Amino acid sequence: MESKEAMGFPRLVIVLLILAGLGECFERVAGEPTHAGKRPSTVRVGAAQPRSRLIDWRMTPDQALAAVDRTIEEFTEMVDRAGAAGCDLIVFPEDTLGLLHWEMGNGEKLGKVLPIAVTRMLKRLGAAARRNQLYLSCCSDTWEPDGTFRNTAFLLDRQGKEIGRYHKVHPAIHESDRTPGNSFPVFGFGVLRKKTPNHNCKRNKKYNQSFPEILQN
C-alpha cells in the first residue's frame, strides 16, 4: 500500500532552502570535501510532511504518551527513508508530536506529559539520526519545573546529539501562554558526510517570518 505521507526530498538537492509554511533556513559553505573526497555544491534536505497525528485532548496523560510513542515509531521510519534517499538533513514540522490540541485542554497536566514526551522524541529520533548519519530538526512545546512553557525547535547532529535549541521569539496569538525566546541562535555544524566546522544553521518558525529582526540578526 502506498503511503499517503510525503517526504519532500525525491531528487531535490538544495543549497539554500526556505520551506514555505515552516520557515526553515539552512545555509552551507561550498567547497568542503565530502567523504569521497569530492567537492559538491549541493546538500540534500528532506522536508517531512507527515499526515496529521493530533492527539485527542480527552486522553489521560498515560494515553497521550502511548500515542506519542506510536507517532515517534512511525517517524523513525521516515528518518530511515530519508537516510536511504541520501539526505544530509531531515526537517519535521512544528508540533512534531501532535500534542497541541491535548495541551490546550490539559494545561494543568502539561508537566506530566511534555518533559517525558520530549525526552523520548529526542532519544529515539536521535538514535534514528545516528543510525542514518544525518542531521535532524524537530519541534515540540516544552515545560520546565518552574512552569515555563515554550515553543521549542531542536537540532540534532549525525550522532543523534542535540546541537542546540531555539525558543520561538514571537508566539502567535493562540500561544500567548508560552514564554517567548529572546534570541535567534545560529548553530555551527558540518553538513557534509565528512564533518567540517564551517557550516551554519539558523532555525526559524513560520509565524516568525513576519518579523524583520530575524533576518537582521
| Domain ranges, ordered by start, for the chain | 6-216
Residue 183: per-residue pLDDT? 87
- Options 3.40.50.2300, 3.40.50.970, 3.60.110.10, 3.90.870.10; CATH for 6-216 is 3.60.110.10
Region of 145 please: left (phi>0), alpha (psi -120 to 50) or beta: alpha
Three-class SS state of 140: strand
Residue 12's pLDDT band (boundaries 50, 70, 90)? Answer: very low
pLDDT tens-digit map of 43-90: 889 999 888 889 999 999 999 999 999 999 999 999 999 999 999 999
Q: In what order do the strands lie in the sheet with 200-202?
A: 17-18, 25-27, 200-202, 186-188
Asked if 83 and 134 touch (Cβ cutoff 8 Å), the reply is yes
User: Residues 186, 172: contact at Cβ < 8 Å?
Assistant: no
Reported confidence tier of residue 20, pLDDT bands at 50, 70, 90: very low
Using CA atoms, how far apart are residues 205 and 184, in angstroms rounded to an integer? Answer: 11
Q: Where are the alpha helices (DSSP H) in the chain?
A: 61-84, 100-105, 110-132, 213-216
pLDDT at 211 > cutoff 90 = no
Would you state the pLDDT for residue 110? Answer: 96
